[in-house]
């Protein structure tokens, strides 16, 4: 008889399957070896070196909290690393009761070497896979991360049906207020991405605003124009990925020699509130500047009320507005612009 584990409703075969995967994975990446990545350092020590390399100086209290370590354990590990010349500790300038931890020159060199070895290890693990298989692997890893994450409190801006999200070109759905950080990555479009852009715009705006299929057709025209452009100089399109899955998109297109147009700005409902929209917006603006444009324009509709705050926060101002009957709705079309 299969009795749920610890009274949680989780059957023992599920527990066994997860534990079996843990054993497989830890063996595959060498966690059970005495030293990580052919070094004299343990997994915990290597993780601390990684954090210090990518965060520079950090208070020990913050390091302990972020790594969820016992204070005594962290102190012992730091003492060993300090004794070996890899880290230095000093009192915080704001509160001398607190310690600041940073890498020494020798520690920086060691951390860089460990990073290189970790990258080489990953290449060795996946180099036999095709691009499609790597995409599936990364997507599966993203699924594991999302399912293991503790549920986050939902705000109105995060809810898929909320009306308070979208900063966009006529037809985009990022959140109106996002944190400055993001774990998302931006990449070049791949086969299938252009169709995904059309499908997601059509689906999301039908669900959230009741717009009819003429909107999807309009987006399809924009995507086709971009794909058929004989000269992509001064134009670019990015796909955002979060946890290995498509999370959004944005395009910078040419209006004229001095003016760029922001188009196809969209963030998936599941990615809202995680900095994806801000990352896309910054990349688009940075690209437009580097391409030599002097200003950027975009078009939207007043019904997307939260967009105004996003545009204003990104330096855009409302240039014009006029009523339109479009996408099966009576809307007010708006043009926003900003200097670069």
Domains and CATH numbers, the chain: 33-128 (1.10.10.10), 185-339 (3.40.630.30)
Cα dihedral 84→53→112→139 (10° resolution): 130
Q: How far apart (Å, rounded) are the C-alpha atoms in residues 55 and 146?
A: 24
Region class of 47: left (phi > 0), else alpha (psi between -120 and 50), else beta: alpha
Q: What is the pLDDT of residue 146?
A: 66
Phi and psi for 35 in degrees, rounded to 5? Answer: -125, 135
Element (H, E) at 208: helix 193-209
Element (H, E) at 264: strand 259-267
Q: What is the DSSP letter of 182?
A: -
Half-sphere CA count of 15, side-chain side, radius 13 A = 11
Residue-wise burial string across 271-286, b where 16 or more C-beta atoms lie within 10 A, e elsewhere: bbbbbbbbbbbbbbbe
Q: What is the pLDDT of residue 151?
A: 52
- Tokens at residue 58, please? 């950090």
Q: How far apart (Å, rounded) are the C-alpha atoms in residues 175 and 307?
A: 8
Taking the alpha carbons of 278, 284, 286, 288 in that order, is the dihedral positive or negative?
A: negative
Q: What is the pLDDT of residue 309?
A: 66
Question: Which residues make Cβ contacts (< 8 Å) with residue 56, sequence separation at least 6?
Answer: 102
Q: How far apart (Å, rounded) are the C-alpha atoms in residues 40 and 149?
A: 32
Q: Which residues of the chain have pLDDT under 50?
A: 1, 152-181
Q: What is the pLDDT of residue 175?
A: 42
Answer for the pair 99, 90: CB distance below 8 angstroms, yes or no. yes
Q: How far apart (Å, rounded) are the C-alpha atoms in residues 18 and 192?
A: 33
Task: Tell if the pTM clears 0.85, that is, is over it.
Answer: no
Closest CA to 334 of 300, 298, 306: 300
- Tokens at residue 292, please? 């030599």
Residue pLDDT, tens place only, 209-254: 899 999 999 999 999 999 998 888 899 999 999 877 899 999 999 9
Q: How far apart (Å, rounded) are the C-alpha atoms in residues 185 and 216?
A: 26
Q: What is the pLDDT of residue 149?
A: 65
Q: How far apart (Å, rounded) are the C-alpha atoms in residues 218 and 333?
A: 15
Phi and psi for 163 in degrees, rounded to 5? Answer: -100, 5
Question: Which residues make Cβ contacts (< 8 Å) with residue 110, sequence separation at least 6?
Answer: 39, 49, 86
Q: How far apart (Å, rounded) are the C-alpha atoms in residues 150 and 326?
A: 41
Q: What is the pLDDT of residue 26?
A: 84
């Amino acid at each position: 008889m299969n009795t749920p584990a610890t009274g949680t409703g989780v059957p023992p075969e599920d527990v066994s399957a997860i534990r079996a995967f843990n054993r497989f994975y830890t063996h595959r990446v060498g966690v059970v070896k005495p030293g990580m990545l052919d070094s004299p350092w343990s997994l915990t020590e290597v993780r601390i070196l990684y954090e210090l390399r990518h965060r520079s100086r950090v208070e020990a209290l913050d390091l302990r909290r972020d790594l969820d370590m016992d204070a005594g354990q962290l102190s012992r590990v730091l003492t060993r690393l300090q004794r070996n010349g890899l880290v230095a500790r000093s009192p915080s300038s704001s509160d001398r009761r607190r310690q600041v931890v940073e890498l020494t020159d020798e520690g920086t060199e060691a951390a860089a070497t460990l990073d290189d070895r970790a990258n080489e290890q990953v290449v060795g693990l996946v180099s036999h896979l095709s691009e499609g298989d790597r995409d599936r692997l990364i997507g599966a890893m993203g699924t594991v991360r999302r399912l293991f994450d503790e549920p986050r409190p939902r705000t109105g801006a995060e809810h898929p049906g909320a009306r308070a999200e979208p900063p966009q070109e006529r037809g985009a759905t990022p959140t109106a207020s996002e944190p400055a950080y993001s774990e998302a990555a931006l990449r070049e479009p791949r086969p299938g991405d252009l169709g995904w852009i059309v499908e997601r715009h059509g689906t999301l705006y039908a669900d959230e605003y009741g717009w009819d299929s003429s909107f999807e057709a309009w987006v399809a025209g924009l995507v086709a124009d971009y794909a058929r452009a004989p000269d992509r100089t001064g134009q670019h399109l990015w796909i955002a990925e979060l946890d290995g899955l498509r999370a959004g998109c944005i395009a910078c297109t040419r209006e004229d020699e001095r003016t760029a147009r922001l188009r196809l700005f969209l963030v998936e409902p599941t990615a809202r509130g995680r900095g994806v929209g801000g990352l896309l917006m910054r990349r688009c603006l940075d690209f437009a500047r580097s391409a030599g444009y002097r200003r950027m324009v975009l078009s939207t509709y007043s019904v997307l009320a939260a967009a105004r705050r996003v545009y204003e926060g990104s330096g855009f101002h409302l240039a014009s507005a006029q009523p339109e009957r479009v996408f099966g709705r009576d809307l007010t079309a708006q043009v926003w612009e900003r200097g670069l």
